[in-house]
Amino acid sequence: MKIAVVGSGYVGLVAAACFAELGHEVVCVDNDPAKLRALERGVTPIHEKFLPELIARHHGKRLRFSDSLAAPVSSSKAIFIAVGTPSTEGGEADLSYVEAVSREIAHCLGDHRGEYKIIVEKSTVPVYTNEWIQRVMERSGAPQGSFDVASNPEFLREGTAVTDFLFPDRIVTGCDSRRGLETLREIYAPLTSGNYYKQKNAIPEPDGARVPPALVATGAKSAELIKHASNAFLAMKISFINAVANVCEAVGADIEQVREGIGLDRRIGSRFLAPGIGYGGSCFPKDLLAFRAVAKESGYDFALLDEIMRINEEQRQRFVRKVRNALWTLKGKRLAALGLAFKGGTDDIRASQAIAIIQLLLREGCSIAAFDPAAMPRAREVFRGEPALEFAESAYAAAQGAEAVLLLTEWEEFAALDLERLKSAMKYPILVDGRNLYSPAVMAEHGFTYHSVGRQGLEAPKPAAVKASESASSS
């Protein structure tokens, strides 16, 4: 099928490349000339596994890029809207880009009564957006009955976006017309039939994938709500386990044991129960605010969402308090911060808790050496002109002379550090682990003072010299 995707951000570009991989003819449109020039040169503006391969495989064949909507709209049967839906001041979703693109699509359609078209919401949007797109397009001249608007929310995670798209747990297609649902069913048939996975150069199947994925056909409003509710539920699981971790700290229990004990209940499930400094990213924070706003608008006071956000905020403060408790005072302290991205496996720093915590510690008068395997180029923008922050070549370089090392992002490589080498670089062997990448037992073995989330802290054994002087003074 001929498909147009408007917006080449995380969702748009991954969707466009994957639709081409499924055999469709795709034009990806973006109004950012710099991004388009890079894509035309085969440069992928985002750090996503398998994406460069897919673009190299299909670019110039089944995948093209364009800065104009006209031709792609008239030649395509399905037009996916994947432009940004950032938050407004009040927390609502800013749908002005979606509206602008809908109006432009309608103008391109003109009084075109030719082939039936489907306009598909791929960006995360609040309930009712499909009705507004329909209304705006008709007001802008798109002939009634010549198109339908559908919702097809994307559940991909950054860092695993391509495999999440090609091996989804479910594909949600929401449209109030049978013709629309049929068209979406046709687009995803290579996945739901299982045929794609039989191809010899198919993207490798990740562990635990559900093949073939389920396809859920719903009304448009239900599909829009499925996305907001799914993200809110996942964020709730994270805030819940962080709240339980805070109780563990207070009563002397171990969150990792608690997490295992509750996660084995299949009604709960062990995924998305990793305690830490809280969730970040371009989705959870903004989608919770948008869901909160649309629920309020519809007359329902969804206060639970406020509590999820409050717990997440509090995790930042709690972590800073933990660093202070480990060092007594913060002013003038030299710290090493490992992790800037909002999670491991991505270069994205949008709403990163790591960056927020570093900003709090800088405000307390600390100096910080930061390292991240992928996100430093983007973080340099945020900390431009900040004299008390420097970027280091490696985790060990960051730890050089540090009075404490802070683990802020769950990069795999941070869970496999050479602890003796790290310790020898540091001024004091103090590690504050915001992602529970290590166990207290291992850290004790290596003689660290170690504080983590939801577990009891431990003090490094006193150096021999101190012990000797103490026993001398006590004898």
Catalytic residue set: 283
How many residues in the shown chain lie near ligand UDX by CB under 6 A? 41
Q: Which stretch binds ligand UDX (CB under 6 A): 82-90, 181-189, 293-301, 450-458?
A: 82-90
Residues 13-32 that bind ligand UDX (CB under 6 A): 30-32
Which of 313, 152, 295 lies closest to 232 in space, CA to CA?
295
Told to check if 165 binds ligand UDX by CB under 6 A, we report no
**Least CB distance to ligand UDX at residue 352 (A):** 7
- Beta carbon nearer to ligand UDX, 8 or 152: 8
Which of 21, 92, 154, 403 is the binder for ligand UDX (CB under 6 A)? 154
Told to check if 124 binds ligand UDX by CB under 6 A, we report yes
**Least CB distance to ligand UDX at residue 359 (A):** 16
Residues 217-236 that bind ligand UDX (CB under 6 A): 231, 234
CA distance 196 to 21: 9
Q: Which stretch binds ligand UDX (CB under 6 A): 50-58, 150-158, 177-185, 325-333?
A: 150-158
Give the E-state strand segments of 349-467 in sequence order. 367-371, 389-391, 404-407, 430-433, 449-451
Which of 350, 229, 242, 240 lies closest to 292 in space, CA to CA?
229
- Beta carbon nearer to ligand UDX, 226 or 369: 226
Give the residue ranges of DSSP H helices in 1-110. 10-21, 33-40, 51-58, 70-75, 96-109
CA distance 359 to 249: 25
**Least CB distance to ligand UDX at residue 87 (A):** 10
- Calculate the dihedral angle through the C-alpha atoms of 106, 111, 115, 121, rounding to the nearest 10 degrees: 10
Contact code string over 351-390 relative to ligand UDX, x by CB under 6 A? ----------------------------------------
**Least CB distance to ligand UDX at residue 43 (A):** 14
Rg (CA), the chain: 25
SS3 state of residue 15? helix
Which of 276, 285, 373, 440 is the binder for ligand UDX (CB under 6 A)? 276
CA distance 159 to 344: 8
SS3 state of residue 88? coil
Which of 134, 239, 282, 436 is the binder for ligand UDX (CB under 6 A)? 282
The values of phi and psi at residue 337, to 5°, are: -110, 115
Residues 34-73 that bind ligand UDX (CB under 6 A): 35
Contact 431, 419 (CB under 8 A): no
160, burial (CB in 10 Å: exposed 0-12, middle 13-18, buried 19+): middle
Residues 283-302 that bind ligand UDX (CB under 6 A): 283-284
- Beta carbon nearer to ligand UDX, 355 or 417: 355
Told to check if 244 binds ligand UDX by CB under 6 A, we report no
Told to check if 339 binds ligand UDX by CB under 6 A, we report no
Told to check if 405 binds ligand UDX by CB under 6 A, we report no
Which of 421, 375, 377 lies closest to 395 in space, CA to CA?
421
CA distance 3 to 62: 10
Q: Which stretch binds ligand UDX (CB under 6 A): 9-17, 109-117, 206-214, 322-330?
A: 9-17
Residue with token string 């991240």: 372
**Footprint of ligand UDX (CB under 6 A):** 6-12, 30-32, 35, 82-85, 97, 100-101, 123-124, 154-158, 231, 234, 238, 272-274, 276, 279-284, 342-343, 410
